[in-house]
């Protein structure tokens, strides 16, 4: 594969941004009977490269329907292509290349087996066990921490949800759908430089952090918005739905009105986001993580504002993704030891009971 000039409709030219161009014509055959999923701007199909390798092809054929949105849509598509073809991490879906036609855009990626959302839907009761959910969370966080610590400019994903957490043939969890990613510039203290911060509310309602819902030119957000979303993914795995789904989306008609109601509730501070309101009290490890991901402050000594003071969430400063990853790793590594200790304690208690019965 070689980098190349891309020529797009209406005479716009895109110079070499470090993309890797995969010549699609005649090289990839799409199987229109194998639709893998739908996205905001197109459909993902199963395909095959000459030589036999199976791939996933994201075909966006409605990018150029609206001339007003043409440039923005194309920029988003090429932004996703650029990130996926230049990033190399075990827990991030690998982009193989892209092609632009007169009225379409195709992004070719490694083929994944399914999404975590698919796994939830197949599970008994449409929910995963805490142990399995935390193992998935750890792998997703590995990919997220990689994005959040890229130098010199880290990346904010902005659309984390279980349908964007993909599972490979080897059962490896990978982050996917980079259509909304945003590159930021950290300050010396680690917070996001406002000049490079996202200033537009992006992502999917119910998975968005409060600061994303309330974002404006004056109220921006950064990497910790993804930490909130990863907490919503954990709730989704344990319960089958993100927080407050039943309150705002179950039996909703039309759904967009319910989304606006949820946003108003978030901004006005009507939602507590107490972990015990969503997950079983027996899921102590998951609750300990959610108590951190759902904190409403993103930095110390934040500038007071009417909106920020009414933010939904728990009191305290939300950790960075790498801090949450360290906590999840500790939990997953200590879980077998804790189970062993619990089993031994049960054996001792049983022996004590037997001795007590004999003495009687």
pLDDT exceeds 80 at position 6 = no
Residue 159 bears catalytic tag? yes
Lowest mean pLDDT among 22-26, 174-178, 262-266, 354-358: 22-26
DSSP E strands, the chain: 6-7, 13-14, 28-38, 43-49, 54-60, 95-100, 105-110, 114-115, 155-156, 165-167, 173-175, 182-183, 295-297, 314-317
Q: How many CB atoms lie within 10 A of CB 275?
A: 25
Res 40: pLDDT: 60
Characterize the bridge pairing of strands 173-175 and 105-110.
Answer: unpaired
pLDDT exceeds 50 at position 2 = no
Report pLDDT digits (tens) over 138-197: 999 999 999 999 998 999 999 999 999 999 999 999 999 888 888 888 888 777 888 878
Q: How confident is the model at residue 22 (pLDDT cuts 50, 70, 90)?
A: very low
pLDDT exceeds 90 at position 224 = yes
Characterize the bridge pairing of strands 295-297 and 314-317.
Answer: parallel
Res 5: pLDDT: 29
What is the maximum alpha-carbon separation in the chain?
A: 95
d(CA 222, CA 320): 10
Res 8: pLDDT: 33
Res 99: pLDDT: 79
| CA-based nearest residue to 263, from 230, 199, 318, 311 | 311
> Which residue's structure tokens are 């470090």?
18
Report pLDDT digits (tens) over 292-316: 999 998 886 565 454 544 668 999 9
Domains, the chain, in order of start with CATH, read 6-110 (3.30.200.20), 114-328 (1.10.510.10)
Res 274: pLDDT: 94
DSSP E strands, 67-181: 95-100, 105-110, 114-115, 155-156, 165-167, 173-175
Query: Angle of helix 130-148 relative to helix 224-239, nearest 10 degrees?
Result: 160
Res 65: pLDDT: 59
pLDDT exceeds 80 at position 243 = yes
| Three-state DSSP string of 239-308 | HCCCCCHHHHCCCCCCHHHHHHHHHHHHHCCCCCCCHHHCCCCCCHHHHHHHHHHCEEECCCCCCCCHHH
Res 25: pLDDT: 41
> Which residue's structure tokens are 């404006």?
216
Q: Specify the 3-state DSSP secondary structure of 254.
A: coil
As to burial, measured by CB atoms within 10 angstroms (0-12 exposed, 13-18 middle, 19+ buried), residue 319 is middle
Res 20: pLDDT: 36
As to burial, measured by CB atoms within 10 angstroms (0-12 exposed, 13-18 middle, 19+ buried), residue 301 is exposed
- Taking all residues of the chain, what is their mean pLDDT, rounded to a whole number? 81
Res 189: pLDDT: 77
d(CA 195, CA 183): 11
Name the token pair of 185: 């510039």
75-85 b/e with 16+ CB inside 10 Å = b?
Answer: ebbbbbbbbbb
Give the predicted TM-score (pTM) of the model.
0.83
* Under 8 Å between Cβ of 286 and 238: yes
DSSP 126: G
Res 168: pLDDT: 96
Res 14: pLDDT: 33
Looking from the CA of 206 toward its CB, the CA atoms found within 13 Å total 20
Q: How confident is the model at residue 19 (pLDDT cuts 50, 70, 90)?
A: very low
> Which residue's structure tokens are 């998975």?
207
* Under 8 Å between Cβ of 325 and 333: no
- Would the annotation count 83 as a binding residue? no
The residue ranking higher by pLDDT, 14 or 64, is 64
Rounded average pLDDT over 269-290: 93
Res 226: pLDDT: 97
Distance in Å from the first CA to the final CA of the chain: 81
The catalytic residue among 16, 88, 159, 343 is: 159
Report pLDDT digits (tens) over 206-217: 999 999 998 875
CA of residue 261 relative to chain centroid, distance = 23
Report pLDDT digits (tens) over 47-106: 887 767 888 888 876 555 555 566 667 777 777 888 888 899 999 999 888 877 766 788
Q: How many CB atoms lie within 10 A of CB 272?
A: 13
Res 215: pLDDT: 82
Res 256: pLDDT: 58
Report pLDDT digits (tens) over 111-144: 999 999 999 999 999 999 999 999 999 999 999 9
Name the token pair of 301: 């000594």
């Amino acid at each position: 594969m070689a980098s190349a000039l891309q020529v797009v409709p209406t005479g716009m030219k895109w110079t070499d941004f470090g993309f890797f161009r995969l010549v699609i014509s005649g090289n990839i055959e799409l199987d229109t009977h194998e639709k893998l999923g739908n996205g905001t701007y197109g459909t993902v199909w199963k395909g095959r490269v000459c030589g036999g390798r199976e791939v996933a092809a994201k075909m966006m054929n409605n990018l150029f329907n609206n001339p007003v949105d043409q440039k923005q849509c194309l920029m988003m598509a090429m932004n996703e292509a650029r990130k996926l073809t230049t990033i190399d991490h075990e827990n991030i879906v690998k982009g193989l290349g892209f092609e632009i036609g007169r009225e379409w855009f195709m992004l070719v990626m490694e083929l994944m087996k399914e999404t975590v959302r698919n796994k939830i839907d197949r599970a008994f009761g449409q929910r995963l066990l805490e142990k399995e959910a935390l193992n998935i969370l750890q792998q997703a966080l590995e990919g997220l921490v990689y994005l959040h610590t890229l130098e010199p400019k880290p990346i904010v994903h902005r659309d984390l949800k279980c349908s964007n957490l993909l599972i490979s043939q080897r059962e490896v969890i990978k982050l996917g759908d980079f259509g909304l990613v945003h590159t930021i510039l950290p300050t010396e203290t680690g917070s996001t430089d406002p000049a490079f911060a996202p200033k537009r509310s992006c992502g999917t309602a119910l998975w968005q952090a409060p600061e994303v819902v309330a974002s404006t030119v004056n109220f921006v957000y950064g990497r910790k918005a993804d930490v909130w979303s990863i907490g919503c993914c954990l709730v989704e795995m344990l319960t089958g739905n993100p927080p407050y789904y039943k309150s705002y989306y179950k039996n909703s008609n039309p759904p967009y009105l319910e989304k606006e109601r949820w946003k108003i509730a978030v901004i006005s501070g009507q939602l507590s986001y107490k972990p015990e309101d969503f997950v079983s009290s027996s899921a102590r490890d998951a609750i300990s993580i959610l108590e951190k991901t759902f904190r409403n402050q993103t930095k110390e000594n934040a500038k007071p504002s009417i909106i920020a003071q009414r933010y939904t969430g728990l009191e305290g400063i939300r950790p960075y993704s790498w801090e949450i990853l360290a906590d999840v790793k500790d939990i997953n590594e200590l879980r077998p030891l804790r189970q062993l200790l619990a089993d031994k304690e049960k054996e001792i208690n049983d022996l004590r009971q037997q001795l007590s019965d004999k003495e009687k």
